[in-house]
Structure 1
Amino acid sequence: MRRRTLLLSTATLFWSTSRAADATVEARAAAERWLALVDMGDFPGSWQQAGSMFKAAMDTERWTRSVSAVRGPLGALRQRNNPSAEVQQTLPGLPDGQYVVLTFDTVFANKASAVETVTLVKEPDGAWRVIGYFIR
Structure 2
Amino acid sequence: MKRLFLVVFAAVLSFSVAADEPKAVDLATNWLKVVDAGKYAESWNQSGPMFQRQLSTKEWEQALTKVRTPLGKTLKRTVKTSNEYNSLPGAPDGEYIVVDLETSFQNKKAALETVTVRKTNDEWRVVGYFIN
TM-score clears 0.5: yes
Residue in 2 that maps onto 1:128:
124
Name 2:76's counterpart in structure 1.
Answer: 79
SS at match of 2:20: helix
TM-aligned CA deviation for residue 14 of structure 1 = 6.2
In structure 1, distance between residues paired with 2:94 and 2:123: 13
1:63-102 deviations in whole A, cap 9, x for unaligned? 0000111010000000111331110000011111000000
Contact 1:23 1:100 in 2 (8 A): no
**2:90 is equivalent to residue 67 of structure 1:** no
**How far did residue 24 of structure 1 move?**
1.1
Spell out the pairing of 1:17-32 with structure 2 (5 A cutoff).
18-32=15-29
Which of these residues, 52, 55, 60, is aligned with residue 55 of structure 1? 52
1:113 lines up with 2:110 in the alignment: yes
Residues paired across the two proteins, number: 128
- Aligned-pair distance for 1:23? 2.1
CA–CA distance in structure 2, aligned partners of residues 12 and 115 of structure 1: 36
Using structure 1 for the length normalisation, give the TM-score. Answer: 0.86
Query: Identity over the aligned pairs, expressed in percent?
Result: 37
CA 1:122–1:17: 2 relative to 1, 3 Å: closer
SS of the residue corresponding to residue 92 of structure 1 reads coil
| Aligned equivalents of 1:130, 1:87: Cα separation in 2 | 14
Q: Structure 1, unaligned stretches of length 5 or more?
A: none
